Amino acid sequence: MKLITLNLWGGVVYEPLIEFIKTHSSEIDIFCFQEMLFGDSPKLTPVAKARENLFYEISLLLSEFVAYKHISSTKHFESEPIEFAGGQAIFIREDIKVKDNGGFRCYDETPHNTSNGGKITGNLQWIDLEINDETLTVANLHGLWQKETKKMDTPERFIQSKKIKDFLATKNGKQIICGDFNLLPDGESIAILEQGMKNLVKEYNIQSTRSKFYENGPRFADYILVSTGIDVADFKVFQDDVSDHLPLMLDFK
């Protein structure tokens, strides 16, 4: 099976993004997206120029997939408020059996405003799949963004990691955690998530998960972690500039 995780940046880099998804849709079984926008209008947002109806447009491309949404309680994208929903989405190829799905806020607080961070971040979306009579939980994380922290450990991020691990401990079967963690690779917050998991960004000595559109700040944000029993056939970071993040791909059994 193959999985791609990508922070879409709201479709700001629209044409290359759509072409990338179209190109890889025939070989991928699971897409995990962050910064998805669920508006009804084809308009662009005033500041970031993100596409308000990005979910609809991607759904047209992935017609052989079933989409699962997770809506963030915070209605800010980049520095601007939005009147429509934003959040995450998982697209599963339609012949894969889905047992359950859901999502939750990783840090219990009144949603952040743009002065201290938050945006549409700090949420975990999850889905339970049945494959060859076994359960696989795929967790799609958009980790809490906090202004001027440079993705370093904070008390809120500790809470987030512990809450995620406590939740996943209730699940039986193998697990994959992927997405935009908004964490540095050597911090204690990510070490909590790595317990019992293999961090493929570290295993494959990846040097950056950010594209040319991200000019300042840490070069790491995105990860894929896999539990024991998942046979990794391949892992790569595509160098396609389709967002301010780069797409990560996992080929596994």
C-alpha–C-alpha distance, residues 25 and 127, integer Å: 19
Which tens digits make up the pLDDT trace of 102-119? 999 997 655 444 345 567
Structural domains in the chain plus CATH codes: 2-252 (3.60.10.10)
Please name the residues in contact with 215: beta carbons below 8 A apart, sequence gap of 6 or more.
none
Question: pLDDT, tens digit, for every residue of 179-234?
Answer: 999 999 999 999 999 999 999 999 999 999 999 999 888 899 999 999 999 999 99
Q: Would you say the pTM of this structure is higher than 0.85?
A: yes
Sign of the C-alpha dihedral computed for residues 170, 171, 172 and 177 taken in this order:
negative
Q: What is the DSSP string of 138-153?
A: EEEEEPPPBTTSTT--
Provide the 10 A C-beta neighbour count for residue 154.
16
Positions in the chain whose pLDDT score sits under 70: 108-118
